[in-house]
Structure 1
Amino acid sequence: MANTVQARKRARQSVARNKHNSSLRSMLRTAIKRVRSAIEAGDKAVAADVFQKATSVIDRVADKKIIHKNKAARHKSRLSAAIKSLA
């Protein structure tokens, strides 16, 4: 347990920050799952539309350093390649 006033405040802040970051991470995972399900459905137009929205979410999360920018780029690249491979 934190003993100083400063340490107690930092503990409170870290709880709030963790809650916010967890929410953003969840939003990211949901966006990626939506794109994957659209790809599995086989509709290229819908998948492209969902991918565009997911790209925005992925970039926002990466800008806030919740995930690394290279991980964000990797997700976007793989999803884009999967959409392009649809017939």
Structure 2
Amino acid sequence: MANTKQATKRIGVNENARLRNQAVKSDMRSAIKSVETAIHEKNADAAKEALTDAVSKIDKAVQKNIIHKNNGDRKKSSLMTQINQIAK
């Protein structure tokens, strides 16, 4: 338990940031899931449409330091590789 007013405030600030980060991360994961679903159904057009949304959400998470830049790049590369494989 916090002993000072400052520590109490930090607990609140950290909780708000955690909730904000959690929402962005969840949004990103949902967008990735929609791309993976389209890939699983072998629907290249739907996958490409969903990819633009997913890339945007991944970039937003990277900008906000919720995930590391390399992690974001790896996620985008993986999705694009999978789409290119089903587009053949």
Q: TM-score range by the shorter chain?
A: over 0.9
Q: Identity of aligned pairs, percent?
A: 38
- What's the TM-score, normalizing by structure 1? 0.96
Aligned residue pairs total 87
Aligned-pair distance for 1:28?
1.1
Aligned-pair distance for 1:80?
0.1
Residue 12 (1) aligns with residue 12 (2): yes
Q: Counterpart in 2 of 1:39?
A: 39
Distance 2:62 2:83 in 1: 22
Q: RMSD value over aligned CA atoms? A: 0.7
Aligned-pair distance for 1:66?
0.3
Aligned-pair distance for 1:31?
0.8
Distance 1:36 1:60 in 2: 19
SS at match of 1:85: helix
Residue 3 (1) aligns with residue 3 (2): yes
SS at match of 1:66: coil
List structure 1 runs of 4+ shifted beyond 2 angstroms.
Answer: none
Q: Counterpart in 1 of 2:54?
A: 54
Distance 1:52 1:12 in 2: 35
Distance 1:24 1:53 in 2: 13
Distance 1:34 1:40 in 2: 10
